[in-house]
Copies of this chain bind each other. A is one copy, B any other.
Amino acid sequence: MAKAPTVEDVAERAGVSRQTVSNVLNTPDIVRPATRERVIAAIHELGYRRHAAARQLRLRRSSTIGIRLDPYVGGISGVVLDRFVHAITERASERGMRMLVYAARTREEEIARLAELWEGSEIDAAIITGTSRDDPRVRSLDQDGLPFISFGRPWGEDDIADPRHLWVDVDGAAGTRAATAHALTFGHRVAFLGWPSGSGTGDDRERGWREAMDAAGADGMRLTAEEGVPFGRAGMEAALAAGAAPDALVCASDSLAVGALLAVAAAGLTLPVIGFDNTPTAEALGFSSVEQRPEDVATAVLELLMGPTGEVVAPRSLQAGSAHALITPELVVR
């Protein structure tokens, strides 16, 4: 194909100068209407398009956001993240931003990748996911001065309220509260199958169940299992063997829910089980699950990072007001 036209080519065609073309593109108001028309016509005739790299070089801004593509772990989840990435890509595009993905196996590797991208001016900001207590990425990014936001609370005592650290998360407790409220319509003995204590996310989800139970004056069993279908199954089987079958079960994840369902079926019982994440598996098997609304998370992430309608990553100072957003999930009943 022929060489792509430049501002200069457009300028010549429209009988104006480089800068006027640039003005038509960036600040149309200051160009006389007649001239503007001519330039616009020339742009269309030549099929002109801004050269991204040249613009980035001059503006010292890449209009690109980096996000990690998590390694495929084989588990059931990951779908939430995939939906999130997809949604953020759409929203970013609407604001004239691009999404650059990178792969990393560990958090340390992610730190290295991000440093590369940031120092090479390839990204203006980053989105990190799956934050844990005392996440090393937070410190590192802060030090490098790379603007970032996390999907997931930092879960550290201090950080969580710190307005300098932007985050968006899903209100897990609200999700399990709704799930438990629904489960209670099947009887007052609603059990909870969650992960071992210590993970912020898991504790949060357990809290919602407990709150709903307390509010209803009900009392129920709390079962524990590592994440994963086989663990969920084993956990549930042990509970059933112990004799006490609940009226319904609320789980911390769809994986656990599937495991529990398998255990229940193997025992020849039927029992309402509610999962978390609303994965395709929940849909396929037809059990209720808490939907995280990753699309809403994506919208919130960009709003915190770029302002309500901004087209540029906002400097920290402008974000003073609201640095966090908590999305309320929705129970999908099946």
**Contact at A255–B281, with CB atoms within 8 Å?**
no
Counting CB contacts under 8 A, is A191 at the interface? Answer: no
Counting CB contacts under 8 A, is A334 at the interface? Answer: no
| A90 surroundings in chain B (CB, below 8 A) | 103
Contact bitstring A196-226, B, C-beta under 8 A = 1, else 0: 0000000000000000000000000000000
| A53 surroundings in chain B (CB, below 8 A) | 52-54, 56-57, 62, 121
Contact bitstring A32-66, B, C-beta under 8 A = 1, else 0: 00000000000000010111111011000010100
Q: A122 with B86: in contact, given A1-B144, A99-B101 (CB under 8 Å)?
A: no
**Number of copies of chain A assembled together:** 2
**Contact at A100–B98, with CB atoms within 8 Å?**
yes
Q: A86 with B72: in contact, given A50-B120, A281-B280, A281-B281 (CB under 8 Å)?
A: yes
Q: How far is the CB of A260 from chain B (nearest CB, A)?
A: 12
Contact bitstring A61-94, B, C-beta under 8 A = 1, else 0: 0101000011110111011001101100110010
Number of interface residues of A (CB under 8 A): 53
Counting CB contacts under 8 A, is A284 at the interface? Answer: yes
Q: How far is the CB of A143 from chain B (nearest CB, A)?
A: 9
Q: How far is the CB of A296 from chain B (nearest CB, A)?
A: 14
Counting CB contacts under 8 A, is A186 at the interface? Answer: no
Counting CB contacts under 8 A, is A119 at the interface? Answer: yes
| A52 surroundings in chain B (CB, below 8 A) | 53, 56, 62, 120-122
**Contact at A103–B89, with CB atoms within 8 Å?**
yes
Contact bitstring A282-312, B, C-beta under 8 A = 1, else 0: 0111000000000000000000000000000
| A78 surroundings in chain B (CB, below 8 A) | 79, 82, 280
CA distance A56 to B255 in the complex (A): 45
Looking at the complex, which one of B51, B71, B101, B119 makes contact with A47 (CB distance below 8 Å)?
A: B119
**Contact at B280–A75, with CB atoms within 8 Å?**
yes
Counting CB contacts under 8 A, is A4 at the interface? Answer: yes
| A283 surroundings in chain B (CB, below 8 A) | 74, 229
Contact bitstring A142-154, B, C-beta under 8 A = 1, else 0: 0011000000000
Looking at the complex, which one of B54, B99, B113, B285 makes contact with A57 (CB distance below 8 Å)?
A: B54
Residues of A bordering B, CB below 8 Å = 1, 4, 47, 49-54, 56-57, 62, 64, 69-72, 74-76, 78-79, 82-83, 85-86, 89-90, 93, 98-103, 113, 116, 119-122, 144-145, 229, 255, 258-259, 262, 280-281, 283-285
